[in-house]
Amino acid sequence: MPIYEFRCEKCDQQFEVLVRGQEKVNCPECQDHRVERLLSVHATSNRSLQQLPMSCPPPSHGPCGTGCCRLP
């Protein structure tokens, strides 16, 4: 059962919901049903973070991804 991020089209509230099957989602702020599912990054454990290099590659290798110190 994944947790999804949503944005309400009526009040612009952003929120997360644990979605079970085809469950309908309503905004917790205004109770409106017109919500948009947002793209989000997946969660990761500390163990997988320890395997990542702690510094960015040289600029000649291009961008290194999300959270890079060279990205705006």
What are the domain boundaries of the chain?
1-41
Task: Specify the CATH number for 1-41; select among 2.20.28, 1.10.10, 2.30.31, 3.30.300.
Answer: 2.20.28
Q: How confident is the model at residue 21 (pLDDT cuts 50, 70, 90)?
A: confident
Q: What is the overall mean pLDDT for the chain?
A: 77
Instruction: Report helix, strand or coil for 4.
Output: strand
Q: How confident is the model at residue 72 (pLDDT cuts 50, 70, 90)?
A: very low
Phi/psi region, residue 21 (left: phi>0; alpha: psi -120 to 50; beta: rest), is left
Nearest Cα to 18, choosing from 40, 1, 36, 42? 1
CA of residue 70 relative to chain centroid, distance = 21
Model confidence pLDDT, tens digit, residues 45-55: 555 555 555 56
Contacts of 38 (CB under 8 A, 6+ apart): 4, 5, 6, 7, 14
